[in-house]
Amino acid sequence: MLEVAHDAFALGGKVTLEGIARDAGVGIGTLYRHFPTREALIEAVYRTERRRLCDEAADLAATGDAAVALRTWMDRFSDYMATKREMADALRAVIASGAVTAAEARSEMSTAIQPILDAGIASGTLRDDVLAQDVIVSLLGIALASGRPEEREQAGRMMDLLLAGVRRCP
């Protein structure tokens, strides 16, 4: 149900819970038993996507090259933000309720990328004075400034600049 809901909300437009239930192959009662309100479903979709993004950081941290891992995660973050942009209308009610906070999201993502930064510090490829939360806030700024699909190339260049700033100078 969460995958179907994610895809529906990401497309934008009018999304009905009945349509999500139908597309997921379940009855509307089943959907409501798991998600009693539209906002509960949106929150679950958002939290699932954020958790998936954070889990990817752990996988990337184990790949060996911290700079490549960080840049790959930056691209995945950009994809995550693009999807979130399409879900903006749906997320507003959840954010207004206080169920989802920016501080919580930043903290979770900062914790997720810390192992990548630690691996880079240990290998001598990344600076030891860069805070994970500063990387996250910088990525948010890039997403806000260049987050539309037609701005993807510029966002990539900005992420390259950010990575250059995180790299340790030889």
- Domain with residue 144: its CATH number is 1.10.357.10
Q: Is residue 163 very low, low, confident or very high in pLDDT (cuts 50, 70, 90)?
A: very high
Number of domains in the chain: 1
Integer angstrom CA distances of residue 98 from 66, 80, 102, 162: 35, 21, 10, 31
pLDDT attached to residue 121? 96
Buried b vs exposed e over 148-163: b needs ≥16 C-beta within 10 Å?
Answer: eeeeeeebbebbeebb
| pLDDT greater than 90 at residue 142 | yes
Domain-located, residue 95: yes
In terms of residue numbers, what domain contains 119?
A: 49-166
Domain-located, residue 43: no
Q: What is the DSSP letter of 26?
A: S
Taking residues 109-119, report their average pLDDT: 97
| pLDDT greater than 90 at residue 90 | no
What's phi and psi for 15, nearest 5 deg?
-120, 125
Q: What is the dihedral of CA 99, 102, 106, 107, to 10 degrees?
A: -50
pLDDT attached to residue 146? 87
pTM for the structure as a whole = 0.85
Domain-located, residue 4: no
Domain-located, residue 154: yes
Tokens representing 6 are 């994610």
Q: Give the C-alpha separation, 91 to 77, whole Å.
A: 17
Domain-located, residue 39: no
pLDDT, averaged across the chain: 90
Domain-located, residue 33: no
pLDDT attached to residue 20? 93
Taking residues 127-142, report their average pLDDT: 96
Domain-located, residue 40: no
Domain-located, residue 55: yes
